[in-house]
Amino acid sequence: MLKTNKDPTVYLHIPQLDAKARKDLSIPPCCKNACGFCSMTFACCLFTVVGPVTCYMLALHVAMDPLIKQTLETCAVFAAVVGLVWFCCMTSFRYFCIEGILCMPSASPPVATWSSNPGAITNAANATPSTGEQKGEQKEQETVKKLKVVVNPNAGVKKGSSNLAKCQKIWEEAGIEVVVVETTHAGHAREIGRDESVDGCDALVCIGGDGTVHEMTNGYLSRDEDTAMLPPLGFIPGGSGNSIMAQQGTWDIEEAARRIAKGRVKLMDIVQVDTCGETIASLNTICFGLTGVIGVIAEDLRCLGPARYDVVAVWKIMTGIREFTCLDIIDDDGKEFRVNDEMTTVYVNTTQHFGKGKRCAPDKQSDDGLLDVYALKATATRGMLMAALLQLPTGAHINSPVILHWRAKKVTLTLPNAGVFNVDGEIIKHDGKITMTCHQQRQKVFADPDSIAMNV
């Protein structure tokens, strides 16, 4: 049975990481490998822009022999044309333009949130019941008379209070009593999930982003009681990403509140994550490499706002980021195999999304008992990686030649050194070995059983 640590020490507070701590955790500096890319860019600009413009300006403004003038003009045009043809046809920019802009692959079709609902739309590769850990017949209706609501007032754009007011109106109209608990500091939602009494309550509800949901659920799963006997959890989208609610098919606060009032519940998968001798839980995504360190590197660029994550992602693709990675996988048939290769990034999902609506695992369902494991090969060109980045929001990247994909019950990832990775938006340290195990239908949550995961 999955039990998380009551007081885990693997969480990191990014602003408190000094240069030594970053080095010990193998966090690459923003400028790492920049020399090669900058030199190439400078040479390209010198040959295709600076050189031709200089020749043309000399021919236009400096008195000289007509033959020399004509030669300079010819050289300017020739250099510009050759540079343009080289850049567009001989580099990976061509692939980026074709696959990422001009001939973008079609979006992945919509997929039902729940595999246990045969009436919903589904395109999942494993649409039949999983061979993983199965649950018996579940009670899909709860009577809701009293809610305990955890609110993060600082989530997203700090609209926690106004989001609560919208929800309270709906719940009060349904005759539901509401008890509100506000978070006051980092980690407080975990403490509430772990320690707050739920006696007499029909649900513990969280209004916040993926980070708040992660904290509260991890606290809940660390209780001494069997959480299967405790009230179900409810989630209201109130953050900047809301990937968990994108999987549930809505970012509408009032619709999410109405779902809780109706009392319909489903059992969702939870991933057990073990590293450094501790256990935490993931409800959404686990990221390594590029997608795992973006949050740390971007912390130094807060002046750019939310755009800093995309800026860092593009910059690190251009300058190069890779790490030798060993994956030990147990797939849905129980077969064990190993993958050794240099990877740019690896991510393991229990929902279809990460970030702001990026549909990175478009076949994932919330109760199928499997992990969707994706890896981007480090041998990919910049153009291929950039094209895959543009294809992510719609799930069009799944047929990209640079992406590897497996469906698994359990994955052990081994890296050369200790470092950091990302779990549901939280930065976690690891000791070089991380084990991820899917617990099928582990947690009861309020949900629409007919929901379709969002295609933003």
The residue with tokens 């400078």 is: 42
Higher pLDDT, 213 or 63: 213
Residues 339-355 as b/e (b if ≥16 CB within 10 A, e otherwise) read beeebbbbbbbbbbbbb
Task: Tell me what pLDDT residue 198 has.
Answer: 93
The residue with tokens 């291929």 is: 384
Task: Tell me what pLDDT residue 128 has.
Answer: 42
Higher pLDDT, 455 or 372: 372
Task: Tell me what pLDDT residue 158 has.
Answer: 60
Contact by Cβ (8 Å): 402, 380? yes
Mean pLDDT of 215-240: 92
- Most distant CA pair in the chain: distance in Å? 96
**pLDDT digits 0-9 by tens, 361-370:** 999 999 999 9
Q: How many residues does the chain have?
A: 456
Mean pLDDT of 41-62: 82
Task: Tell me what pLDDT residue 138 has.
Answer: 55
Question: Residue 40 corresponds to which tokens in the numbers above?
Answer: 């190439």
**pLDDT digits 0-9 by tens, 428-437:** 999 999 999 9
CA distances to 46, 211, 261, 334 from 370, in Å: 51, 22, 30, 11
Mean pLDDT of 104-132: 65
Higher pLDDT, 232 or 153: 232
Task: Tell me what pLDDT residue 130 has.
Answer: 40
pLDDT at 31 over 60: yes
Question: Residue 4 corresponds to which tokens in the numbers above?
Answer: 């998380």
pLDDT at 224 over 80: yes
